[in-house]
């Protein structure tokens, strides 16, 4: 969650950018286990509105996007579960978790045996959360405060959970992910079929019933899939 622009932009992750965010993350969250991935414990918020307001107060700004890093969203939970149940997908490989949010998917990949795992997001609070959560789960994850849409650093596996909220962002991200898949990367997308998920380009590999909160979603259980690009979408003919 959290990537917004359509071109690769690097935000230098200075001490000033991220320092101070760690304390905020620790002070406004508690350790919780995502229902579908109880092997992992994350610093998460109990309620959405209070931490949203506190984030705006911390930054002195109004109208900010939700603090995606503070919750275990349905797509990330499904993707994390799939990786831990199918560790051969990432074992020994270089992995990118795009729009990582809390770092849930990156941590799952690390626990599944990834040789190198990077977690990108454009929110400094997310970077602080990724650092806290990876340390708490005793895994090595390299956080990157960057929008990586358009970049290709040779990742063997690219993971993306819950990135279909906004039309422009989803379109740019999906085109980029399809490009990576065409050149040979394994690309997996976790999503509860949100509005801008291009189902006509994807094949569903597995589906889960993911417990969520009505404060964030429209139901207490979200049917959530893990998807890859279909052969047809990649110009490889029929599936």
Task: Identify whether 239 is part of a domain.
Answer: no
| Nearest to 215, CA basis, from 66, 62, 114 | 66
What SS3 state is found at 128?
Answer: helix
Task: Identify whether 1 is part of a domain.
Answer: no
pLDDT for res 10: 36
Task: Identify whether 159 is part of a domain.
Answer: yes
Per-10-residue mean pLDDT, the chain, length 239: 42 48 89 97 81 63 70 96 98 98 98 98 95 98 97 98 94 97 97 96 98 82 96 68
| Nearest to 142, CA basis, from 162, 157, 169, 121 | 121
Task: Identify whether 152 is part of a domain.
Answer: yes
pLDDT for res 4: 42
Task: Identify whether 4 is part of a domain.
Answer: no
pLDDT for res 48: 63
Task: Identify whether 235 is part of a domain.
Answer: no
- Cβ neighbours around 16 below 10 Å, total: 9
Task: Identify whether 3 is part of a domain.
Answer: no
Task: Identify whether 54 is part of a domain.
Answer: yes
| Nearest to 10, CA basis, from 174, 142, 156, 120 | 120
Distance of CA 11 to the CA centre of its chain: 18
Contacts for 211 with CB less than 8 Å, ≥ 6 apart: 35, 36, 220, 221
The CATH number given to whatever domain includes residue 53 is 3.40.50.150
In the block, tokens 């831990």 appear at: 84
Strand partners, 208: 224
> Strand 116-121 relative to strand 94-98: parallel, antiparallel, unpaired?
parallel
Provide the domain count of the chain: 1
| Nearest to 77, CA basis, from 210, 220, 216, 222 | 210
In whole angstroms, what is the distance from residue 190 CA to residue 73 CA?
Answer: 10
What SS3 state is found at 4?
Answer: coil
pLDDT for res 139: 98
Range of 222's domain? Answer: 9-229
């Amino acid at each position: 969650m959290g990537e917004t622009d359509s071109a690769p932009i690097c935000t230098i992750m200075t001490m000033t950018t991220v320092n101070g965010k760690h304390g905020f993350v620790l002070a406004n969250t508690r350790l919780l286990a995502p229902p579908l991935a109880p092997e992992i414990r994350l610093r998460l918020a109990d309620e959405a509105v209070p931490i949203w307001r506190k984030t705006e107060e911390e930054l002195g700004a109004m109208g900010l996007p939700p603090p995606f890093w503070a919750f275990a969203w349905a797509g990330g939970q499904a993707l994390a579960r799939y990786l831990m149940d199918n560790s051969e997908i990432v074992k020994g490989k270089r992995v990118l978790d795009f729009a990582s949010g809390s770092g849930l998917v990156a941590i799952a990949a690390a626990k599944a045996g990834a040789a190198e795992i990077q977690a990108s997001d454009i929110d400094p609070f997310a970077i602080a959360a990724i650092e806290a959560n990876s340390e708490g789960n005793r895994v090595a994850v390299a956080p990157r405060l960057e929008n990586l849409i358009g970049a290709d650093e040779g990742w063997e596996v690219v993971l993306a959970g819950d990135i279909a909220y906004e039309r422009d962002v989803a379109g740019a991200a999906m085109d980029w992910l399809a490009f990576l898949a065409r050149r040979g990367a394994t690309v997996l997308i976790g999503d509860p079929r949100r509005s801008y998920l291009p189902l006509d380009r994807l094949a569903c590999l597995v589906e889960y019933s993911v417990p969520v909160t009505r404060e964030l979603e429209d139901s207490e259980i979200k049917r959530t899939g893990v998807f890859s690009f279909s052969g047809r979408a990649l110009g490889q003919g029929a599936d």
